Amino acid sequence: MAVVKRERNDTEERMIKRFLKKVKKQGIIEEFLKRRYYVKPSVQRRLDKKRQIAEHKKREAKKNR
């Protein structure tokens, strides 16, 4: 649970910004979007494998610079 306490001289905009940053860091929005629709286990495995391959390629490209 993301909780933001009001600090001294904090505006509402700043509190909202901090809250959104915490929520994003904890992955709550990502989790919500994933659970929005049911994904079959076979499709989920395929997506996970694709994501792993993309991350690996990205790391290799960064390493070879």
pLDDT of residue 61: 94
Beta strands in the chain (DSSP E): none
Query: Which ranges of the chain have pLDDT less than 50?
Result: none
Coil, strand or helix at 8: coil
Please enumerate in sequence order all residues whose Cβ is within 8 A of that of 49, keeping only pairs 6 or more positions apart, or say none: none
Instruction: Give the 3-state secondary structure percentages of the chain, helix then strand then coil, rounded to 5.
Output: 70, 0, 30
Q: Is the pTM of this model over 0.75?
A: no
Q: What is the predicted pLDDT for the residue at 3?
A: 86
| Confidence (pLDDT) at 2 | 83
